[in-house]
Structure 1
């Protein structure tokens, strides 16, 4: 079996803050740029369209109704024009595209999901999934997803799986992808993740957390991991800082996320991307084989007679309609 040598790109980019159409257009430009550089896959961050709702960490919910209303209005449908433009860009340039977006639904004006879509080089949707559990203050914005899209996708550039932000800390979700032979793991993150006031010893360092959790996944799965985090630009920072002086101080002092890549030995490949731009990485999937001799947790280095994991991929719509078939006419002899 021949395993491919691939080139991928992480889009360490800022969205056009709270503007879904403009952000989708920016993403299409990035797809074109990455394709010109020879990338076979372009990955965008968590909730790239229309941006990450960081205000949930910066002010009480009673002070952020307008932010949620605007965010809901700019959240997009999985079959909407924004993602359709990205599908066309993927087909035009012949590349795979992974994009995070805040997903709206026709079933509700305010129910949203933190979602990801993997698009093939012919523009088809290869997978569409929703984050299983919104993390911490994200619960103020997004609903829990189901496991319909918790799966690995076979592609010409390898077997691809994806998890969103804190899901990369969930050992069962990660194992579900490992057990389908994942070779390229896509881990998407927001630009910042405030948990305490700046300067406090227990404040969360998102860059360090990314290295720990994504390094652990690559080391355990013996796969490559590509990390794409958003970049916090000046317009977004100003909009968030306007909430209060305390919010402005948090925005100023909170560590920023990075984009990077990790090999199947758990070590980083190349440099981290901190400035806005595309990070290009080359990966030889054959490198995933040798480490399996040491620990193959979905093969010989496990005890399936002791441990068992079941994943329910049943979709969870809010309602199921069952229309009654029209009553059949009686047989002729009864009609007489």
Structure 2
């Protein structure tokens, strides 16, 4: 689809690697080529009994003709050190897929746009109870009887925000929709002139961050030749 419509595509998936699942974002370029992925570094709450943890090897920023693109997933957007790593890599188009439709999420997105001097594109699902299969008969949720098939269970709120904190499109809570905006990367330059959190507004002699951006393998094998091989392919 990315190749057909000549668009850059950033999409969420549930990734399986061996016997472990990860909450993951995939990146494709306008020719339909796979660029890479980001794995959620910290699953939220009960997500931790389902998903594995990403590491520093999958927090990329991709340099493209339309800008430097990256993503952080849902509540990991509230992790200041992760955001700082993305700012240090020069992110200009910051994608924030989420399942949080609360009003306070919009405040976080505005803060990130201002803090990072970047465009923030946050996409959230809009869905009703009828969009999901019925719960198994033996499961009692305590809330299902209060929901009709048309009850909204996630209200959306997709939004696009400029580096100055201006809302360019959204937030949309009206139903399934596409939102769009024209992005002027010159706004990134103007925003950084005022405030560059990893540039002229930093104080590395007081505050600094070390990012381990290599894969963290639980098992390594050292052959007789001295070459170290990871257990992960």
The normalised TM-score by structure 1 is 0.60
Distance 2:163 2:176 in 1: 26
Alignment counterpart, residue 119 of structure 2, candidates 224, 227, 231: 224
Greater displacement, 168-177 / 288-297? 288-297
Q: What value does the CA root-mean-square deviation take over the aligned residues? A: 2.3
> Equivalent residue of 2:143, what SS?
helix
- 1:300 counterpart = 2:200: yes
Alignment counterpart, residue 311 of structure 1, candidates 187, 211, 233: 211
Larger helix share, 1 or 2: 1
Distance 1:234 1:262 in 2: 29
Q: 1:323 to 1:277 in 2, by over 3 A?
A: farther
Residues 107-154 of structure 1: per-residue CA shift (max 9 Å, x gap): 22xx21101111111222222121001011211211111111212110
- 1:146 counterpart = 2:58: no
- 1:178 counterpart = 2:90: no
- Matching residue of 1:244: 140
Distance 1:240 1:268 in 2: 38
Deviation of 1:255 after TM superposition, in Å, equals 5.8
Aligned length: 220
Distance 1:256 1:304 in 2: 41
Greater displacement, 129-138 / 265-274? 265-274
> Equivalent residue of 1:226, what SS?
strand
> Equivalent residue of 2:46, what SS?
helix
Deviation of 1:323 after TM superposition, in Å, equals 5.4
Q: 1:233 to 1:296 in 2, by over 3 A?
A: same
> Equivalent residue of 1:302, what SS?
coil
- 1:93 counterpart = 2:5: yes
Distance 2:83 2:56 in 1: 12
Distance 1:302 1:132 in 2: 25
Q: 1:324 to 1:247 in 2, by over 3 A?
A: farther
Contact 1:132 1:167 in 2 (8 A): yes
> Equivalent residue of 1:133, what SS?
coil
Deviation of 1:316 after TM superposition, in Å, equals 2.6
**Highest relative contact order (Cα 8 Å, sep 6+), 1 or 2?**
1
Deviation of 1:212 after TM superposition, in Å, equals 1.5
Distance 1:159 1:253 in 2: 35
Residues 220-253 of structure 1: per-residue CA shift (max 9 Å, x gap): 1111000111222443345359743623247957
Alignment counterpart, residue 29 of structure 2, candidates 110, 120, 129: 120
Larger strand share, 1 or 2: 2
Distance 2:24 2:153 in 1: 25
Can you give the 5+ residue segments of structure 2 that lack an aligned partner in the other structure? 226-233
Contact 2:125 2:155 in 1 (8 A): no
Distance 1:254 1:153 in 2: 34
Alignment counterpart, residue 179 of structure 2, candidates 261, 264, 279: 279
Can you give the 5+ residue segments of structure 1 that lack an aligned partner in the other structure? 1-88, 194-205, 326-336
- Matching residue of 2:230: none
Contact 2:129 2:147 in 1 (8 A): no
Distance 1:233 1:283 in 2: 32
> Equivalent residue of 1:189, what SS?
coil
Deviation of 1:174 after TM superposition, in Å, equals 0.4
